[in-house]
């Protein structure tokens, strides 16, 4: 397929269709309305179904039903809407259902604003809903990567029977970039889901449930989930190293939008004779901690930058330990740092 110029939101929608997804349930919210708009036009063309639910709570429960019936399905929303979906996400994690959630983050807390932010890192990586569960979290930094990771998200959701987040922000969602859809999945050809509730003709009934009143059973279930999360941690870490060959004066740690701003800053720092590199987690959970530690050993200073007051920062500090000093630069509320700001921070840090 030839490269197209597409908005991030539209590319996410098309990627879902190319991944064989035929069902969307959602509720509008800025800055991701182009996703439901796109799905409402595209899904009927491919024999799919678009449902605008009466609220985010019901959308996430519709996803529970559709995923339980074995269908690839997804939704998209933005921060406050994702908060409303947390009940469903917890049940989906408990019942081990594959659902993809796209969160095009905006500034918070509360209704906050509509401009780009990375304010929901904690919510996505540390739970969000109640109960002892984890979601896989993928964080694209270009429109192409958003499309690729949405396709991957559906595969990972099926593989682990687990909710998967694709965590973007208003900038990724609203920006246009060239994009290419690398593969097309026919939903008819996806492996059969033997656990799904598809009508128990000629077999024992399957049950989709997150209720375990017997504590012994629930404990068993919790440890089974934990084992699954360990598998994810073993197999699914993804990250990018940029300009990290050899020793470096400074290491930027950033994901998504901020990572690309850091790349421009790194180029600008070269002209000042400063050697900088970037470590970009692509999976936020599982966090590529050991890989970060390895990258950090080659760098004198470490600067974490986020569109938050410091959330991924905690994971970075956890992995690097007390002996490494970690500096932080954040912008919030929908404000986005310029490459010049990161250059200034780096220069200040190296003084």
- Is residue 31 within 8 A of residue 114, CB to CB? The reply is yes
Q: Toward other proteins, which CB reaches closer, 14 or 96? A: 14
* Distance between CA atoms of residues 315 and 320, nearest Å: 9
Which of 131, 138, 139 has its CA nearest to residue 94? 131
- The residue from 1, 46, 111, 176 that contacts other proteins (CB under 8 A) is 176
Q: Cα-flanking dihedrals φ and ψ of residue 219, to 5°?
A: -60, -45
Q: Segment near other proteins (CB under 8 A), from 18-26, 93-101, 230-238, 261-269?
A: 261-269
Give the other-Cβ count within 10 Å of 23's Cβ.
23
Q: Is 5 in the site for other proteins (CB under 8 A)?
A: yes
Which of 140, 256, 187 has its CA nearest to residue 16? 187
Least Å distance, CB 340 to other proteins, is 6
- The residue from 59, 85, 97, 262 that contacts other proteins (CB under 8 A) is 262
Least Å distance, CB 170 to other proteins, is 7
Q: Is 15 in the site for other proteins (CB under 8 A)?
A: no
Least Å distance, CB 221 to other proteins, is 44
- Is residue 131 within 8 A of residue 93, CB to CB? The reply is yes
Q: Toward other proteins, which CB reaches closer, 193 or 263? A: 263
Query: Could you give the angle at the alpha carbon of 155 between the alpha carbons of 160 and 15, nearest 5°?
Result: 145
Left (φ > 0), alpha (ψ -120 to 50) or beta: where does 131 sit? left
Q: Toward other proteins, which CB reaches closer, 136 or 337? A: 337
Query: Where in 287-346 is the site for other proteins (CB under 8 A)?
Result: 336, 338-340
Q: Is 263 in the site for other proteins (CB under 8 A)?
A: yes
Q: Which tokens is 31 given?
A: 């800055």
Q: Is 175 in the site for other proteins (CB under 8 A)?
A: yes
Q: Is 3 in the site for other proteins (CB under 8 A)?
A: yes
- The residue from 75, 77, 118, 174 that contacts other proteins (CB under 8 A) is 174
Which of 292, 251, 277, 269 has its CA nearest to residue 341? 269
Q: Is 178 in the site for other proteins (CB under 8 A)?
A: yes
> What is the total count of residues that contact other proteins (CB under 8 A)?
23
Q: Cα-flanking dihedrals φ and ψ of residue 297, to 5°?
A: -65, -25
Q: What residues make contact with other proteins under the rule CB under 8 A?
A: 3, 5, 31, 114-115, 170-171, 174-178, 260-265, 267, 336, 338-340
């Amino acid at each position: 397929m030839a490269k197209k110029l597409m908005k991030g939101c539209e590319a996410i929608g098309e990627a879902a269709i190319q991944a064989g997804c035929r069902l969307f349930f959602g509720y509008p919210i800025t800055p991701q309305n182009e996703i439901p708009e796109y799905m409402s036009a595209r899904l009927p063309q491919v024999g799919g179904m678009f449902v605008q639910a009466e609220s985010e709570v019901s959308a996430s429960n519709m996803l529970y039903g559709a995923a339980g019936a074995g269908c690839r399905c997804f939704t998209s929303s933005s921060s406050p809407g994702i908060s409303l979906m947390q009940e469903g996400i917890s049940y989906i994690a408990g019942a081990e259902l594959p659902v993809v959630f796209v969160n095009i983050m905006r500034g918070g807390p509360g209704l906050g604003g509509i401009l780009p932010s990375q304010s929901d890192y904690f919510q996505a990586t540390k739970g969000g809903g109640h109960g002892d569960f984890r979601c896989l979290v993928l964080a694209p930094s270009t429109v192409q990567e958003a499309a690729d990771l949405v396709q991957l998200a559906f595969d990972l959701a099926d593989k682990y029977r687990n909710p998967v987040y694709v965590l973007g922000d208003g900038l990724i969602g609203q920006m246009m970039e060239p994009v290419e859809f690398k593969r097309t999945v026919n939903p008819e050809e996806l492996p059969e889901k033997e656990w799904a509730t598809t009508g128990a003709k000629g077999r024992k009934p399957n049950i989709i449930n997150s209720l375990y009143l017997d504590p012994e059973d629930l404990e068993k279930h919790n440890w089974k989930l934990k084992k699954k999360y360990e598998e994810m941690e073993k197999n699914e870490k993804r990250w990018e190293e940029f300009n990290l060959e050899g020793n470096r004066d400074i290491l930027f740690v950033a994901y998504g939008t901020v990572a690309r701003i850091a790349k421009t800053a790194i180029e600008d720092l070269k002209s000042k004779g400063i050697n900088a590199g970037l470590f970009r987690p692509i999976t936020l959970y599982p966090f590529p901690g050991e890989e970060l530690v390895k990258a950090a050993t080659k760098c004198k200073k470490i600067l974490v930058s986020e569109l938050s007051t410091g959330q991924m920062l905690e994971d970075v500090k956890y992995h690097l330990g007390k002996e490494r000093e970690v500096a932080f630069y954040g912008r919030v509320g929908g404000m986005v740092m310029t490459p010049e700001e990161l250059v200034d921070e780096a220069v200040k840090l190296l003084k």
